[in-house]
Structure 1
Amino acid sequence: MLPEIKGLNEECGIFGVWGHQDAAQLTYYGLHSLQHRGQEGTGIVVSDGKKLRGVKGEGLVSEIFTADAMKDLNGSAAIGHVRYATAGGGGYENVQPLLFHSQTGSLALAHNGNLVNANSLKHQLEAQGSIFQTSSDTEVLAHLIRRSGFPNLNDQVKNALSMLKGAYAYLIMTENELMVALDPHGLRPLSLGCLGDAYVVASETCAFDVVGAVYIRDIMPGELLIINDKGITSERFALSTTKAICTMEYIYFSRPDSNIQGINVHTARKNMGKQLAMEALLDADVVTGVPDSSISAAIGYAEAAGIPYEMGLIKNRYVGRTFIQPSQTLREQGVKMKLSAVRGVVEGKRVVMVDDSIVRGTTSRRIVNLLKEAGAKEVHVVISSPPIKNPCFYGIDTSTKEELIASDKSVEQIRELIGADSLTFISIDGMMKALGQEGTSGYCLGCFTGNYPTEIYPDTLQYYYQK
């Protein structure tokens, strides 16, 4: 059963290093920089060339990897993972990397993404005798590798990857090599860097900056990299590839200091704000952004509109996540604890509130209310993504179809429900223009348009389109 989804939630982040004496420590810092991609669980597996050992737990990177936990993580290679539960739900057993031991050696897996054919593959594998230890779709790959009839690991992995459908960025580590794989559409970001003679792989380039690594290039769709003490080899496991990077990486998920396909995320978001000002130039006194992912777009809007940008909303960084609260009343109180309107900035003012998306509409309504309770004369909401009308099947929890407010309501109806004086979403053409693109080729816009780059399997559709 897939988890109940209340809003736009993070994906996962992966980090790996090969050939560095402080591999576990580097991975700790790399995961810390990717913490925004998942806060439910984290793990690190290291290789000393003879055996794999790991530490994992439910919680933040700084909570799990204490000095005591790190002391036995010795080795020159490591992979790590920060998790937001998508397919399979939460629980310690689902925290990655997943580590498997056998008489022929050990295997560790870390995965960012979501497999749309995971359930059908599980049914096939169980019919053949496989017993799953987790409810995570990541484990499917381990069973496919193990059951492959090919004589060497490289061919086993390539054969297994060719059977997967959906979004996946994988790190696969054995005692003597690290494999890196990206799905044939490149739906998730994944980059290769170096630190001296060591190789580093990360979901986002911001992790390279933190550990002092130098960016080399992005992993290509359908590519399998094999890294070992002899160097690095690139192979293909998918001959037919069509790039379709997730646009929400630019809008919401990635850190502003990351670059995706050569595009800086902060610059992309700022350009979206400028484009919004061209599409909806409002008569207002102040512009503010919803922390944190909307700040760049708000700055861009303010610059293009010639309206002062102010910190009209403050985020309290020491409050737990509001969606885990057991009742609607407590969730609403949690939002007030997490965000505060600055009365001295917004009182008596016509405010342009910039946000990255509207999913269910409840959070937007609360923030509009916060601003008006603080004395804002008018609140005009501008959104740096098009309306999210369809669920995402690739590892971003954008709710079931029935929970998405834009799936069956007009912009005017949404405006009324959130209590804004006006509401504007960026156009799809405007969003692509902000990314420096003409047309939508090379990008996934499934949550906006309903056109997905892969086949979606019936059991997946049944859940996300439940009525």
Structure 2
Amino acid sequence: MSDQIKHECGIALIRLLKPLSYYQEKYGTALYGLNKLYLLMEKQHNRGQDGAGIATIKLDVQPGKRYISRHRAMGANAVAEIFEYVQKKFADVHKETPELLQDTEWLKENISFTGEVLMGHLRYGTHGKNSIESCHPFLRQNNWMTRNLVVSGNFNMTNVDELLEQLFELGQHPKERTDTVTVLEKIGHFLDDENQILFDKYKNEGFSNEEISHQIAEHIDVASILRRSAKTWDGGYTISGIFGHGDAFVMRDPVGIRPAFYYHDDEIVIVTSERPAIQTAFNVPLESVKEIKPGHALIIKKNGTVSEEQFREPEEQKSCSFERIYFSRGSDASIYKERKQLGLFLCPQIFDAIDNDLKNTVFSYIPNTAEVAFYGMVEGVHKYLRDFQKDALLNRADKISDAELEDVLSLTARIEKIAIKDVKLRTFITQDADRQDMVAHVYDTTYGLINRGADNLVILDDSIVRGTTLKQSILKILDRLGPKKIIVVSSAPQIRYPDCYGIDMSRMGEFVAFEATISLLRETGREDVIDRVYRNCIESEKLGNKQVKNYVQEIYSQFTDQEISDRIAQIITPKEIKAEVKVIYQTLDNLHKAIPSHLGDWYFSGNYPTPGGNKVVNKAFMNWVEGKNQRAY
């Protein structure tokens, strides 16, 4: 994606099902869990570069001994910093008494982070402050072991104000108006409630207070706590949690918007946001890694029992398609195939745009994340060439001449690496004009590959959000090569609507598709549509969530996709360039054909999977009309 946007965070949860001594004996290290947690986090580093955090819990620790450890760090190198901090604790032991590193009981009693339950989180701050306090995991601490709670997740809730109001009604006084705090405190409240119910039960049965603590730890109903906590949540979420005594869970929203994968055997349970992280770190086959079902939670009890239990009624699954197009790593087998299909399905539109002139067309891509879709597009080009050559050689009525034969057989796809992202340039110059000139040099190019004034240049991108980088940098650089026409191709459809489930796309005015549509409405004298939609959005604030519709869809219904694409091409084309610029987008139909199991397409279609989504898009439009540069939830 040439326009960088921040997006879903990443989670990792490990539960060691054997004593630490087992891993020391079998794998030669008591740090087996920590080493694997590090691998899982590094293999998902793409999911968060604003910060990271880990937490561990030791099982069956004597009173007075610390059993919860947490460390967080900021910045792109946070994962390395965290594990350097943890590693130093063991390095110090190795320096003074190396034999103690083999003593798992001593390590567990004396060194932090030697726990059997481990949690990791990678953070992309879509809206929150980038501070250490904003980094997960979050702790809710209590002297009762079973009331302690550690939470981290990949989530955004659309109804934070409503959830906060519910906390007020419970008598709580949250310190922040964030969905992280509301989630933590909501689960924490019902965890406390469950503890109290069990305490009263066992107290009436004559158990001592010490015995009651053990009974609560054994019988606490995790699924019930999650059912009561998530009853009114509206959003996309994968949330992992650990109770102080060792029960752990990972819960996934009823629509399956956010991803969650798991694997378990008799030694270990692992949950991550991306499947290849598990496959790589543990060398397990694809079919052994399962997906947590929407509306379900994977629950790992302290005694090692693993179950997948429903906490909300699952709805029609609308998993995020952007995960497949861009956010998740393409090393997942199914994602790799889907991205190739996205590129392949674009070929008919591309051939029309170049008038089937492959001889005078160069194909390339930008940025590197578009590479896999590009391979699919190239396969489509090669197929077209084979069909063309077959037709020329087999279906001619007259005999083909030697010169014509040579011409047909010499026709090949011109595949080149045209644009290369250069080192990150710091635009420290204060004047806007100077800064824009610096931005124009973010990419470098390969000269001598384009026949000036004769060649078409096809450039594939993952998606086009704002079009800023294309206008300020990429198109200017490509124009220096002298192509006759530049065709910018997006493997994703037009991004028209804000996301409210974890992607940093929340303001209507940021989308070049929206800018193009508004300019068309004004040009054609249809400003009344803008006014009507605005009035409907205002009226919708009086309705309940389930009655609210996405009124902003009317804005786009006035024009064809092609009309909007053509206007986008005009908007992103710098005045000074000579080449003709055309923009091609993936169609929604082809998106669903390429990615049939991830039908969440609200940012393209406006069809939000939860009631809160419609409320958010209407509010985002109102904010734009009113000139408020703020998110809508």
TM-score (norm 2): 0.66
Pair 1:272-2:305 in alignment: no
Alignment: residue pair count = 452
Q: Which letter does structure 1 place at the counterpart of 2:13?
A: G
CA contact (8 A) 1:45 1:52 kept: yes
2:40 to 30, 38, 45: 30
CA contact (8 A) 1:42 1:64 kept: no
- Deviations 1:247-278 (CA, angstroms, capped at 9, x unpaired): 1111111110125xxxx112111111110002
Aligned to 2:295: 222
CA contact (8 A) 2:153 2:239 kept: yes
Q: Which letter does structure 1 place at the counterpart of 2:150?
A: A
Go from structure 1 to structure 2 and tell me whether the alpha carbon gap of 1:177 and 1:338 turns closer, same or farther (over 3 Å shift): farther
CA contact (8 A) 1:93 1:134 kept: no
- Deviations 1:307-361 (CA, angstroms, capped at 9, x unpaired): 3332212234x63899x99886687567556432222445644211001111111
Aligned to 1:339: 443
Aligned to 1:381: 488
Query: 1:374-413, aligned counterparts within 5 Å?
Result: 374-409=481-516, 410-413=564-567
TM-score (norm 1): 0.89
Higher Cα Rg, which structure = 2
Q: Which letter does structure 2 place at the counterpart of 1:291?
A: P
Go from structure 1 to structure 2 and tell me whether the alpha carbon gap of 1:200 and 1:395 turns closer, same or farther (over 3 Å shift): same
Give the structure with the larger strand fraction: 1
Q: Which letter does structure 2 place at the counterpart of 1:398?
A: M
Aligned to 1:65: 82
1:299 to 362, 371, 375: 375
The answer for unaligned runs of 5 or more in structure 2 is 18-29, 62-66, 90-111, 198-219, 383-412, 517-563, 574-579, 625-633
Higher mean C-alpha displacement, 420-429 vs 146-155: 146-155
Distance in 2 (alpha carbons) for counterparts of 1:234 and 1:305: 45
Go from structure 1 to structure 2 and tell me whether the alpha carbon gap of 1:373 and 1:211 turns closer, same or farther (over 3 Å shift): same
SS of equivalent residue, structure 1 residue 429: helix
Go from structure 1 to structure 2 and tell me whether the alpha carbon gap of 1:277 and 1:461 turns closer, same or farther (over 3 Å shift): closer
Go from structure 1 to structure 2 and tell me whether the alpha carbon gap of 1:267 and 1:293 turns closer, same or farther (over 3 Å shift): same
CA contact (8 A) 2:160 2:178 kept: no
- Deviations 1:280-305 (CA, angstroms, capped at 9, x unpaired): 31335221111222111112112212
1:428 to 576, 579, 588: 588
The answer for unaligned runs of 5 or more in structure 1 is 1-5
Higher mean C-alpha displacement, 32-41 vs 144-153: 144-153
- Deviations 1:157-196 (CA, angstroms, capped at 9, x unpaired): 2210222111000111124122010000000111012476
CA contact (8 A) 2:252 2:297 kept: yes
Go from structure 1 to structure 2 and tell me whether the alpha carbon gap of 1:275 and 1:83 turns closer, same or farther (over 3 Å shift): same
Go from structure 1 to structure 2 and tell me whether the alpha carbon gap of 1:374 and 1:224 turns closer, same or farther (over 3 Å shift): same
Distance in 1 (alpha carbons) for counterparts of 2:72 and 2:431: 30
SS of equivalent residue, structure 1 residue 456: helix
Distance in 2 (alpha carbons) for counterparts of 1:29 and 1:8: 25
2:53 to 28, 43, 66: 43
Q: Which letter does structure 2 place at the counterpart of 1:268?
A: E
Distance in 1 (alpha carbons) for counterparts of 2:469 and 2:180: 31
Higher mean C-alpha displacement, 211-220 vs 95-104: 211-220
Aligned to 2:119: 79
CA contact (8 A) 2:318 2:598 kept: yes
Aligned to 2:14: 17
Distance in 1 (alpha carbons) for counterparts of 2:465 and 2:581: 19
Pair 1:143-2:181 in alignment: no
CA contact (8 A) 1:122 1:140 kept: yes
Pair 1:185-2:182 in alignment: no
Go from structure 1 to structure 2 and tell me whether the alpha carbon gap of 1:345 and 1:75 turns closer, same or farther (over 3 Å shift): farther
Shift of 1:447: 0.7
Give the structure with the larger helix fraction: 2
Query: 1:237-386, aligned counterparts within 5 Å?
Result: 237-259=311-333, 264-281=334-351, 282=354, 283=357, 284-306=360-382, 307-316=413-422, 319=424, 332=436, 335-336=439-440, 338-346=442-450, 348=452, 349-365=455-471, 366-386=473-493
SS of equivalent residue, structure 1 residue 293: helix
| Identical amino acids, percent of aligned pairs | 26
Instruction: Indicate the RMSD between aligned Cα atoms, in angstroms.
Output: 2.7
Shift of 1:127: 5.0
Distance in 1 (alpha carbons) for counterparts of 2:34 and 2:177: 27
Aligned to 1:201: 271
Q: Which letter does structure 2 place at the counterpart of 1:312?
A: I
CA contact (8 A) 1:319 1:337 kept: no
SS of equivalent residue, structure 2 residue 141: strand
Aligned to 2:610: 454
- Deviations 1:217-272 (CA, angstroms, capped at 9, x unpaired): 1010001111134231121101242211011111111110125xxxx112111111
Pair 1:55-2:160 in alignment: no
Distance in 2 (alpha carbons) for counterparts of 1:412 and 1:118: 39
